[in-house]
Structures are given as C-alpha cells and as structure tokens.
Structure 1
Amino acid sequence: MPKIKLHWQILIAIAVAIIAGLITGHPDDTTLGARAMGVYDFLGTLFISALLMIIVPLIVSSIIIGIAGIAREGRLGALGGKTLGFYIGTGLVAVLVGLVAVNLSQPGFINGEPAGDRLALDRDADEVVEQVGEGGPGELVAIFHRMIPENVVDAAANNELLGLIFFALLFGYFMTRVKKENADTLYSFWDGIFEVMMKITHLVMLFAPLGVFGLVAKVAAETGVDAAGPLLVFAITVVVALAIHVLLVMPLMVRVITGYNPYRLFRAMGPALLTAFSTASSMATLPITMDCVRKNAKVSQKTSSFVLPLGATVNMNGTALYECVAAIFIAQAYGLELTFGVQFTIVVAALVTSIGVAGVPMASMVAIGIILTAVGLPLEALGLLFVFDRILDMLRTATNVYGDGVCSVIVAHLEGEKDLLPSGKMEKANI
C-alpha cells in the first residue's frame, strides 16, 4: 500500500479536526466535549513543545554552516556579492510588501476589534501587551541591544533569538578565518549538529498530523465557524501580496536593471514554476529551474550554476513575505499595538529566518515560531496557520523559484552576458 505523503496527511488531519471540533462543540457544554478538549490540548501542546525544542540548535547550526560554507569556498567575491545583495534586497522588498498588505487589510481585526476571541486564542490581550512591551522611543534601541547578547548561553535559554542569529552570523564567517585544521573541525562539528537536528525535525514532522489535528480541532471546538472569516482574509492577503511581488515588483526590477521584457521570464520558467507549485520544494525543483534558465532564459552555466543553487538555499522571498504577514496577523488578533519597534523586529526576523531555516520541512512554521518568540507573542496561535498553509506553501515556493530566475537574469546582465530572455520558441526542460 503506497504511503500517503505528509502534506496529504496534514490536509486530512485538518479536515478531520474541523469535523471533530464542530461535533464536540464547546468544552463546557458536555462531558464529551470537555474530554475531547483535553485530548486536543494535549496533542497541540506536545507538538508546539517539540517545535520549541528544535528551534535554537536548528537555527544556530544552519546559519553557521550556511555562512561558513559560502565563505570557505571563496564565493563571497564579486559574483557572490551581487547574488547575495540581490537576494537580501528582494527579500526585504517582499517583507515590506507583506507589511503594507497586512496593515491595509488588517485580517486580525473584525469590525475594528481584535479577532482573538473568535480565533480561540487563550492568552489575555493585556498579558500579551505586557509581555511584548508598550513600545516607545527607546524600543528600537532596545531591539539593537537584544541583537548583541551579553551571554550567548543565557540568550539561548531565554529564546532571545535575535541575539543568537547575530552571534551565529559572526561565528560562521570568522570560523573560516582560523587555521584550516581548526576550521575544518568546527565545520564538521556544526554540520553534524545540523544533520542531527534535521533528523529530529523530520521525526517531529512525522507527528505533525496529530499536532495539527489537536491545534485545529481545539479552535473549531471553541469557535465553530467563527474563525473562518479572519483566516480567509489572512489567506487572501498573503495571495494578493505574493501576486504584487511576483507580477509587479520583480518584473519591474528586471525591466529597470536589464531593459529586457520581464514577462518573457514567466514563459521561460513555466515548467519550473509548475513543478515548484506542485512540490512546494525549491530544492526538488532546482534541476528543472537550472534547465529552464539555461535553455530558455539563455543564462550561462557559470552564472546559473552559482546563483540558482544558492538561491534554492537562501532566497526565500515568498517565505519571508508570508512570515511577516502571519506574525502581524497574530499580533493584530491579540490586539497588540504594532509600534514601529515591533514591526521592525518582525521585518528583520522574517528576513533572517527565511534564510536561516530554508532547508527544513515546513520551514515557515518553524520560522514563524522563531519570530513570535523574538517579538514575545504566544506560540499557541501557530495552529491557526495550518488551515490554509498547504496552498499558501505552494504559492510561496513558486514565488521563491521565480525570484531565483529573476536573480540569475539580473546577475548575468551585470556580468556582461548578452541576448538574455529571447522571444523565440522555448526548449522543453529535461525533467
């Protein structure tokens, strides 16, 4: 009997959870409802705890080996600088597009009131505000203070993730500047930790359907169909923001920087975009992306062989946008006043974490957990995002892959390559 893929297991779990939650109803109504609520809470809490368990070692090890891997191979030269600069720049633009979209649509509010009650968020809004902070002129300064931890071990124990990310970036870079034998030992050490954490992550994800069932069933039992409205507005906000970034922002970059017709790239990358959408995996799509970019966009092998594999690892425009929208949606639902400092923290964390955990299954959920922790928001709201996550994951992966193609064309142009994005017949990609 063929094994059901994880995303189908999660979709089935969501459907079953909604039905079970609606049947059992509010926990105060019946003994059955109260007992069912206990089961839902047990499963959901275990899953959230497992995600919390892997966050610190996973993000630290992944960032260290990612930065060290680029530096030790000498790829931080001109080509590397252009590529990384583009990926960071477009990632920042994507986050800002998401930030504007979610502030305009405000999916976390219903008729001007926070949607926390409808979404069955357990934590009291005043408690959340107290935990996050009221904001003020010194908040931005405090954010930068938190980025440089006085004690790295203490920062890890208290989930001060901005400081850990900053430390990991420095450690990964300077790890390659020591004696070769020491650098190799350190790289093997952190690479081993990363491999172990990936295996633990895979183990946690095997139980994701049960965790998702508990989280979604709890919401359905407490709110009935009331949660559908805010979640649908949230999903539409993400889709619209992704569309703006893919159809307007990145094509404008291609037109302004290269002068080529940017919409030819959609045709050139058609097979890769469809594969990315269906698999929700940038890495799985990479061979087809490289084939399309070389044959149809006419980017050289020298450029594409560097830009595209790096992009499949660190270029997560769609993921960064989604993380920003999701974090602010949850903050709105709690009624948190989104000061400049809070939103700045979310923007920075979304940009960095979209790179740091790019290779992890269901990476956005882990990364959003990191962002919520960095801002001080409770993690129980994470379960809400699973309802529409599969389709949104497919869309943001396609966005990521398209961004890789855009970068390859722009970097190729800046490297002096000619006759890119021809208007002639496209070759069939080798799949």
Structure 2
Amino acid sequence: MKFFNNLLFRVILAILLGIVIGSFANATFVGVFVTINSLFSQFLGFIIPLIIVGLIIPSIGNLGSQAGKMVGITALIAYGSTLFAGFLSYGTSMTFFPSLLQNQTLSQVAEEEAIKPFFEIAIPPFMDVMSALIFAFIVGIGLAKIHNSVLLQASLEFEKIINMIIEKVIIPFLPIFIFGIFLNMTHSGQAFVILNVFAKIIIVIFILHIVVLLIQFIIAGLIAGKNPFTSLKLMLPAYFTALGTQSSAATIPVTLKQVQKIGVSDSIAKLVVPLCATIHLSGSTLKIVACCIALMMIQGMPIDFFSFSGFILMLGVAMVAAPGVPGGAIMAAIGIIGTMLGFDAQNQALMIALYIAMDSFGTAGNVTGDGAIAIAMDKFFKEK
C-alpha cells in the first residue's frame, strides 16, 4: 500500500493501463475520460494563475526579513546555476534530439477521428499567466520592503491554501488525467511514439544531470580550494535521500548535515541550504527544457533560439515558486509552458507525465547542487 502511494508508481501504472485498455476500448469508454480530462483541463487553466500568485508572492516577500546581502548573492548564484542548466539542456537537446527522434512525429500517425468530450464547462481564470507573474513580482517585491506586513501574512495563508490544492487535489488526480491522455492516444495510435521518446530522452537527461553536478562542484572547488570529487562524494547521502523523497524540502535535514561535513560553517549552511531548496532548481529546469524540446520536435513545432531563451529566463524565475512536494516544479512551470511555447492541454499533460517519470533525478540534482552553492558562499562570507 505504501508503494502504491508513490506518485511515480501511480503515473507509470496510469500510463501502462492507458495503453493496455486503450488498445481495445470503444469510443464511448474513451469519451468518458476525454470528458473528465476536459473538465480537469479547465480547472487547471483556472488555478494556474492562482498558483503563480500564491507561491511567488510569499517566496519573494519573505526574502526581505533575512540576511540581505547573503540572500541576494545566493539567489543570484542559484538563478545563474539554473539558467546554465537550462541553456546546457537546450544546446544538448538541439544537438542530439534531431537524430534520436528522427522519423518519430505524431503528424505521421494515422489518427482516427478525434473523440470529443460529451459536454464542456468553461471556467475562465481571473487573469492570464503573464498578468499573474507581473502581479506576483510587483506585490512580492513590495512586501519584501515592508516590515510586519499584514498582506504578507495573508499571502502566507493563501500559499497554504494553494499548496493544499496542489497536494490534495491536483497531484492525486494527475494519474487519472494521464491515464485519460494515454487511453486516448492509444486509441488514436499515438502512444507508442510518445513512449519511444520517453525512453530516449530519459537517458540523455540522466547523463546531463551528472555533467551539471560535476561542473557545479568543480567551479565551487576552484572558488573554495576544495576537492570537488570529495565534496560530491560527501553529498551522495542527500542525493539518494532525494531520490526516495522526491522533495527538496523533505531532504533539507540530510542536505544540511552533509554540507556541514564538507566544512561549510553552520551559520552559512543554515541559511543557504533551506533557501536553495526553494530557489535552486537546476535539475528540474534541465528536465523541463529537454522535455519541451522533445515534444515540440515530434510535433513539428518551430523552435527559435531567442524565443526559447526568453522561456528559459522566465522558467528560472518561475522555479522560485515551486513547492517542495513531488511534481511541484512542473505545476509552477506549466503556466508559462502553455503561454510561451503554445502547449495545449494534451501537451501540458504529456509534459507532466514526462517530468514526473524523472522527478526523483531532478530533485536529487537540485539538492546535491545546493551543496556546491553552499561551498562557494562559505568562501565568500566566512573570511570577512
């Protein structure tokens, strides 16, 4: 029963059941889940701007009460590391995916007539995603400058509501949503193309995670005069803990302990590790970029470097809003994936499935990289 509660297990089970049942299910049965998915997609469209507002405002607003200069430099390094991972993923994906995914396009699949939902209910959002982002930045930055703000306390309570919706409604329903997507895709002949893409890009992304971690610790080692391989070895308990928990927040105690073993001072470790658990998501960004490019390639969607660069820059900011729960990063990012890359509801669902299939590796990459940032920050501030 405990194993069944694992999100990754439920997502994989949903994909397999969708493929098996979709191979013989009739149009009426498929239509039921197409209708359910249509309603859930409307709900997601409504809630995503609220997720952005509910998570970004308190994340930025809380920075004002902490150790200003150190927080600012840590945030800048974390953002730079996240962008580096995103652009490295972009370059690697654009180099290798065209050959890996050659002749694998959904447009080549002979689809049956699209099954439509039996009925639809429109749930228009209060605001669009970009409006929510700008609003969240303005209010968050303002609250960071105001001491003892009542509005900040209200935003923290709203954040709890949003996290509860993510944990109790969205995340538990995702396997059903993904089951419906793969049920419909198998019925229309698309599922095996997607699965083949899954297998190939997972290998590339895993190798990229290792490369990013090596680069992060080599740079930190050069800054602090520490052996990067020894430091990386000491961070392995945090890496493997994150593989199991799929949560940066849940791994903080182990990450903190291992960072202190490397030699980082307690005061710096206790500030940098919890902060980076929230704002440093290089592993998650790497995955999201690669998955987006793969899905765009197999559907013949245009990929422009400058437009995609804007997406990566915005993605790095959106990752600050990611809650420390399994699948939280993709829920924080799905809004800009839809607006900036033009992903429809089905593509967004595929992104969620692709992401969760590799969620453990992304989280492990995030928390292990936090150790490299802590090493650099210890060098910058300990001797002053």
TM-score (norm 2): 0.87
Candidates 164, 181, 185, aligned match of 1:199: 164
Candidates 67, 88, 98, aligned match of 1:97: 88
Which residue of 2 is the match for residue 188 of structure 1? 153
Q: Is the 8 A contact 2:12 2:357 kept in 1?
A: no
After the TM superposition, which of the residue ranges 94-103 and 351-360 deviates more from structure 2? 351-360
Q: Is the 8 A contact 1:46 1:211 kept in 2?
A: no
Change (3 A) 1:117 1:184: farther
Alpha-carbon distance between aligned partners in 1 of 2:110 and 2:6, rounded to the nearest angstrom? 25
Which residue of 1 is the match for residue 33 of structure 2? 40
Which residue of 1 is the match for residue 275 of structure 2? 310
Q: Is the 8 A contact 2:311 2:336 kept in 1?
A: yes
Q: Is the 8 A contact 2:291 2:355 kept in 1?
A: no
Which residue of 1 is the match for residue 119 of structure 2? none
Change (3 A) 1:403 1:122: farther
Alpha-carbon distance between aligned partners in 2 of 1:312 and 1:60, rounded to the nearest angstrom? 20
Q: Is the 8 A contact 1:17 1:213 kept in 2?
A: yes
Determine if the alignment matches structure 1 residue 57 to structure 2 residue 50: yes
Alpha-carbon distance between aligned partners in 2 of 1:12 and 1:228, rounded to the nearest angstrom? 13
Determine if the alignment matches structure 1 residue 227 to structure 2 residue 194: yes
Q: Is the 8 A contact 1:156 1:164 kept in 2?
A: no
Determine if the alignment matches structure 1 residue 87 to structure 2 residue 55: no
After the TM superposition, which of the residue ranges 191-200 and 228-237 deviates more from structure 2? 228-237
SS at match of 2:228: coil
SS at match of 1:23: coil
| Shift in Å, 1:6 | 4.2
Q: Is the 8 A contact 2:265 2:382 kept in 1?
A: no
Candidates 292, 296, 318, aligned match of 1:327: 292
Change (3 A) 1:277 1:6: closer
SS at match of 2:193: coil
| Shift in Å, 1:277 | 0.9
Structure 1 ranges of 4+ moved more than 4 A: 107-110, 116-123, 155-158
Which residue of 2 is the match for residue 274 of structure 1? 240
Determine if the alignment matches structure 1 residue 239 to structure 2 residue 185: no
Task: Give the aligned length.
Answer: 371
Alpha-carbon distance between aligned partners in 2 of 1:120 and 1:266, rounded to the nearest angstrom? 48
Alpha-carbon distance between aligned partners in 1 of 2:368 and 2:314, rounded to the nearest angstrom? 23
Alpha-carbon distance between aligned partners in 2 of 1:121 and 1:293, rounded to the nearest angstrom? 55
Alignment of 1:34-183 (within 5 A): 34-71=27-64, 73-77=65-69, 79-106=70-97, 110-111=101-102, 114-118=105-109, 157=126, 159-161=128-130, 163-178=131-146, 180=147
| Shift in Å, 1:321 | 1.3
Alpha-carbon distance between aligned partners in 1 of 2:293 and 2:338, rounded to the nearest angstrom? 13
| Shift in Å, 1:410 | 0.9
Q: Is the 8 A contact 1:326 1:368 kept in 2?
A: no
Which protein is richer in helix relative to its size?
A: 2
Q: Is the 8 A contact 1:43 1:215 kept in 2?
A: no
Which residue of 1 is the match for residue 118 of structure 2? none
Alpha-carbon distance between aligned partners in 2 of 1:159 and 1:306, rounded to the nearest angstrom? 34
Alpha-carbon distance between aligned partners in 2 of 1:326 and 1:64, rounded to the nearest angstrom? 27
Q: Is the 8 A contact 1:278 1:394 kept in 2?
A: yes
SS at match of 1:5: coil
Q: Is the 8 A contact 2:236 2:368 kept in 1?
A: no
Q: Where does the alignment leave 5 or more consecutive residues of structure 2 unmatched?
A: 115-123
Q: Where does the alignment leave 5 or more consecutive residues of structure 1 unmatched?
A: 25-31, 124-154, 419-431
Alpha-carbon distance between aligned partners in 2 of 1:122 and 1:170, rounded to the nearest angstrom? 46
Greater C-alpha radius of gyration = 1
Alpha-carbon distance between aligned partners in 2 of 1:90 and 1:121, rounded to the nearest angstrom? 45
Which residue of 2 is the match for residue 336 of structure 1? 301
Q: Is the 8 A contact 1:13 1:213 kept in 2?
A: yes
Q: Is the 8 A contact 2:11 2:178 kept in 1?
A: yes
Alignment of 1:402-421 (within 5 A): 402-416=368-382
Supply the AA of the counterpart residue of 1:76.
Answer: G
Alpha-carbon distance between aligned partners in 1 of 2:299 and 2:152, rounded to the nearest angstrom? 42
TM-score (norm 1): 0.78
Which residue of 2 is the match for residue 212 of structure 1? 178
SS at match of 1:211: helix
**What's the CA shift string for 1:213-262, capped at 9, x where partnerless?**
11122222222533322232232332232222123x21331233223211
Q: Is the 8 A contact 1:277 1:394 kept in 2?
A: yes
